[in-house]
Homo-oligomer: A and B are copies of this chain.
């Protein structure tokens, strides 16, 4: 709903991509984690004979498999835009919520099939996009009930640092080290920066910058072209956000690095706000992140399209919401009212009541056989229904039925009209 509120359209891409579309996009490790689809029919007929004889699994691959399951949503999106860019409205704004597959060893928080939820704009350089992505993060987490900090930085803050420290050739090493600040603390970061050959003075500059809290603070620190670009862009994003009131906290964080090498402009990250007492015990890394990457579609031969987007970590968000008990009982059981009946007459009454309740939009289930109260209650407990309506001969006669709240055990006798009122109020 929030994505569409901001003018984004849904996109779904096929589960399978051409193997050569995916190969080489995620590094060697990524290539190994792709789930490859075996060609159909007599696949060995067209297999590479040399590779076959040498039992070369890697060499044989491209001749017996031409497709693989998608590994993320970014590459399929780039492929889609590159293939269709002449037909698409540019800027093209899309969101995509689909599973991806990785042949990883499954462990806590890591699955072989999991959902990604991405929202991206392609073909617009305007920083209004960055501002609106911040707003969407804010609105979405407000709706989910998690108090978050939205961190914002600019990749050029880091390249400016590397320039000023005369360490441009070690840019990625520096970024990787700074990226660990949250986990290992400043002292360890400092040590590792020394390790890649940084001088004391340079490290002091890094420290000053990453602990600065406003754009003004770095004005006199980052004075090269990259530094000035970064300040200008970040200021523009903040200016665009002036008319918007945040529910969560937007925070400029010059220490935010984000591991991935392809970002070129603003970068984002969302973390749970553990300053909030209610959330103090949540141990979780980032639950969202993204940034601007120029030339998103260049790998598919279409140049000049800048992309900016963010991602929601669906499984992690689920875990946090679970821990904060943000899912209420009704979310986990589709049916809110279960009808149990004691004999044939009450069963027939139950059918009529079920029809009545459903026409009043009350989710209703009726146990398909009557009698054997203990068996019925066993089912009621197992099914997780919040409310049970018990109908016996007495109830049919009185036209009042016993409504039981399963958690508390509270029960009351109500007419069908009162039951409808109970659920619809």
Interface, chain A (partner B; CB < 8 A): 3-10, 14-16, 32-33, 35-38, 40-45, 47, 52, 55-57, 60-61, 64-65, 69, 88-91, 93, 99, 101, 103, 112-113, 124-126, 128-129, 135, 240, 243-244, 333-335, 338, 351-352, 355, 358, 361-366, 368-369, 379, 382-384
Contacts and interface: CB of A to CB of B under 8 A. Distances in A.
A229 to B, nearest CB: 19
A368 B69 CA distance: 35
A204 to B, nearest CB: 39
Contacts of A124: 368-369
Given A243-B355, A351-B128, A379 B37 contact: no
A153 B69 CA distance: 41
Nearest to A13: B113
Contacts of A4: 334-335, 363
A370 to B, nearest CB: 10
Contacts of A129: 368
A97 to B, nearest CB: 13
A6 B113 contact: no
A150 B353 CA distance: 24
A38 B65 CA distance: 8
Residue among A93, A352, A368, A383 facing the most chain B CB atoms (10 A cut-off): A368
A6 B364 contact: yes
A368 B6 CA distance: 12
Contacts of A55: 44-45, 47, 52
Contacts of A382: 88-89
A186 B41 CA distance: 39
11 contacts: A5-B363, A5-B364, A8-B335, A10-B334, A16-B35, A16-B113, A35-B40, A44-B60, A45-B55, A89-B384, A128-B366
